[in-house]
Each structure stands twice: as C-alpha cells, then as structure tokens.
Amino acid sequence: MFKRSLAVIFSLVLLFPLIGQTTIRLAGWPGNPTEEAAMKKMIDNFNSKNRDIVVVWEPSPGDHNQAMKTRLAGGTAADLFYLDVSIFEEFAKTGALLPLDAYLRDFPLNDYAQSLRDAFSYNSRIYGIAKDFSTLSVIYNKEIFRRAGVAEPRAGWTWNDFRTTALALKAKSIVPSILEADFNRWIPFVQSFGGRVVDERMNIALGETKAVSGLRFAANLVLRDQVAVRSSDVGAGWEGEAFGQEKVAMIMSGPWSVGFVRDNYPNVYKNIGVIEMPRNEQSATMIYTVAWVINKQTANRAAALRVLKYLVSEGQEIFVREAGVLGSSSTVAARDTDPLKAPFYRGAAYGTPWRIRTPSGLFSRANDEIGSRLQDVYAKKITIDQAVQQIVANYESWVE
C-alpha cells in the first residue's frame, strides 16, 4: 500500500508541471529536408529545457501568406509565424501583428544590423525580429570546371567575365547556370548595371536606361547566349537540386543551397566553391530575410515573447549551424566560422533587402505579374523590351 502511494505521488510530481502548460504554435512554409531537420532540432532543444511551455511546429500547406491572411481573419492563426520581408508591410498595415518595442527593452536589438531592423519596422515601430538572413552568391562545382578545363571564377569578376566563363562551359556541352524567372533574381542585374526598381516617390523605374541594360543582359544570357536556364529545364525541382545532381556548373543562390548539397550530395559538396556575385557598374546582391512575428490575437503573449527571444538567439544559432543560413544576430554570426559562408556575409554590406516599397504597401500582385512576363520572355512570347513596356504601363494598377 505504501509503495503504491509513493508511485501515485511520484506520478503526480512528474505530471504536475504539465498542469497549466502553455502550447505555442509556430507557422511557416515547409523548408527543404535540411531546413525541416534544423527546425525540429531547434524546437526539440527548447521543449527539452522548458516544462511550462511546449512549442509545436505547424508548416502551412500551400501558400503560407494566404493561409496566414485567412487564419488571422478567422482568429485561428498560430501564435508566432514567419513573415517574409517582401510582404511584411502588407501585414503590418492591417494591425494583425503585435508591436514589439515595449517588450524588447531587455533584448539586444543592437546585435541586429540597422537594415534588418528597418526591414521589419513600420511607422517607426518594430513588428518582427529577423530569424536569419541570406544573400546571393555564385555557387560553382570545382570538379566540373576542372574536367572542362575552364578557369574558376576569381574575386572581383564582372558580368562580362561571368558570360565568358558560361560560354566556355557551354562549348564543352555543360549547362552553365540557372536563372529562374523570379523577379528577385533579376534585381541584382538591374542594380549592378546602375539601375533601380522604383524611384524616390515609389514609382516604377524599370524603364530607365540603366535598369533596362541590366534586364537585357540577363535576358541575353537566357535567349541569345543560352547559358542560363530554369531548374525545370534540366528536370530539377529547384536550383539546389539541379546543382546537387550536377546538371549545372553554377547557380546564383543562397547559403541554403550549400546546406542542402552538404546533407544530400556529399560528394558534390566536397567540390563546392562560392564567390560573390559578379559586378558591372557596382556590386549588387539580394538580402532575403524572414521575421518571427507575433499574432496580436494570441492569448499567450508572455509565453510567445519568451519563445520569440529563444528563436532569435539560441534557437537561431542552431538553425544557422544546421540549415546553412546566415546569422542575423551579430553574436550568432561571430560564431559562424564556415569559410563557404564568407562570400554570403560580405554581400550583406551592399545587398538590397527583398522589399519593394509601394504607396499602398502592396507588392505581391506586382511581383506575380512581373514574374509572369519573365516567363513569357523565356517562352519567347515577348521580348524583354516588350516586358518592360508592359510592366511600366500597368505597374500602378498592380500596387493599388
């Protein structure tokens, strides 16, 4: 009887911390297998150290941004969720996000670059903390270059150097590179040639001479020189897979592709080289970042804030190490000594966040419309000059 009573008491002691335990739901888009494994490790680490909060990962099926809009409207959204910099302002304007300023007085905000703080600020208030970030560099296969007898890229190379290298690879029956028909991958060409996407008044500027020069150069890589293709053109689902399967010699991609190749194609990973993006008039790359934001409707604000602070500190360090992305916290970045990431980190000094300012705060439709016209350029339905004309003529209606 005494032993049975002890067993009951012991069971109650084990269960007691679960009484009143708070569940915090996280939502985002599902990543590649490497990123999903990193997410699991990050969450498991938190749950193993905290008995009063349990974190649950709920990746959104389909379109994450649309799913969040629907769930926020219906009162069923997760407590914390991913918000990409490209669509941040659209969400911030609705009042659906919790302003964080008052809750971050003991948080080292200065660990985050001003550009990353600004990326998730609206009307002088902070609504999100960058979970990590990435830039674009050129990732190349040293062994393919060696077998082809083509010299590897060298620091300080130009877009003309890139073209010459790609043509040399093509001459050896090698598919040189990937250039997707996604607008954000064409922006570095615009900016490297001295152009801009919008002007100071947020009017479309892609019709300006320098911007058109950059777009024409990119289009010529695809159509005239035939040294750049989409991943689907070589039977791959995305650029990292195309590179890992050695279907192309180079990709313009982020550190996520390096992590993916490391985990899935170790023999190819041994031959990876990474170099900063080519330049023309100036250096240019993209800065991709996603914030953790808190649903203003959460019933568990204190717990959600605790989880947020973990996700962008200790949790970020785990995710950066495992997924191959870059630390948005300078403390985390300082501990990241992977030499392959160095070119990506250097790009942060001159990169542009993937966020196009518009008077309405809306850009998603414009992004889709521009991408559709780039697809038409690939399909030779229109020229790049015709695409630019259509974009300039219709842009204002796309951002209303």
Does one domain contain both 39 and 180? no
Does one domain contain both 28 and 53? yes
Does one domain contain both 176 and 101? no
pLDDT value of residue 223: 97
Does one domain contain both 207 and 255? yes
Does one domain contain both 111 and 140? no
Q: Which residues pair with 291 in a beta bridge?
A: 83, 130
Residues 156-173 have a mean pLDDT of 98
69-81 pLDDT, tens digit per residue, is 999 999 999 999 9
Gap between the terminal Cα atoms of the chain = 75
**Distance of alpha carbon 229 from the chain centroid:** 21
Measure the CA dihedral 62/64/68/70, to 10°. Answer: -30
pLDDT value of residue 15: 43
Does one domain contain both 384 and 330? no
pLDDT value of residue 241: 97
pLDDT value of residue 51: 93
Q: Which domain holds residue 204?
A: 135-286+356-398
- Return all residues near 249 (Cβ < 8 A) that are at least 6 apart: 140, 141, 144, 145, 148, 169, 174, 175, 176, 177
Does residue 18 carry a pLDDT above 60? no
To which residue do tokens 């518009």 refer? 358
Among 318, 335, 353, residue at a domain's last position: 353
pLDDT value of residue 19: 58
Q: What are phi and psi of 286, to 5 degrees?
A: -100, 150
- Return all residues near 347 (Cβ < 8 A) that are at least 6 apart: 135, 136, 137, 276, 277, 285, 287
The CA–CA distances, whole Å, from 188 to 220, 251, 284, 306 equal 15, 14, 5, 37
Q: Give 59's Cβ-side CA count (13 Å radius).
A: 12
DSSP 20-45: TPEEEEEEE----HHHHHHHHHHHHH
Q: What is the CATH number of the domain that holds 122?
A: 3.40.190.10
Does one domain contain both 237 and 386? yes
Average per-residue pLDDT for the chain:
93
Does one domain contain both 188 and 210? yes
Domain tally, the chain: 2
Does residue 394 carry a pLDDT above 50? yes
Does residue 138 carry a pLDDT above 80? yes
Does one domain contain both 333 and 374? no
271-318 pLDDT, tens digit per residue, is 999 999 999 999 999 999 999 999 999 999 999 999 999 999 999 999
Measure the CA dihedral 246/250/256/261, to 10°. Answer: 20
Measure the CA dihedral 110/113/115/120, to 10°. Answer: -60
Task: Pick the range with the lowest mean pLDDT from 106-115, 176-185, 236-245.
Answer: 106-115
pLDDT value of residue 203: 97
Which band of pLDDT confidence, cut at 50, 70 and 90, is reported for residue 9?
very low
Does one domain contain both 340 and 234? no
Alpha carbon distance 147, 269 (integer Å): 16
Residues 113-120 have a mean pLDDT of 88
pLDDT value of residue 10: 42
Does one domain contain both 304 and 327? yes
Does residue 11 carry a pLDDT above 80? no
Helix (H) or strand (E) holding 255: helix 255-264
Does one domain contain both 303 and 248? no
Which band of pLDDT confidence, cut at 50, 70 and 90, is reported for residue 114?
confident
Residues 126-147 have a mean pLDDT of 96
Residues 105-130 have a mean pLDDT of 91
314-347 pLDDT, tens digit per residue, is 999 999 999 888 999 999 999 999 999 999 999 9
Share of the chain above pLDDT 70, in %: 95
- Cβ(27)–Cβ(62) under 8 Å? no
Strands 137-141, 22-28: pairing is: unpaired
Q: Give 262's Cβ-side CA count (13 Å radius).
A: 17
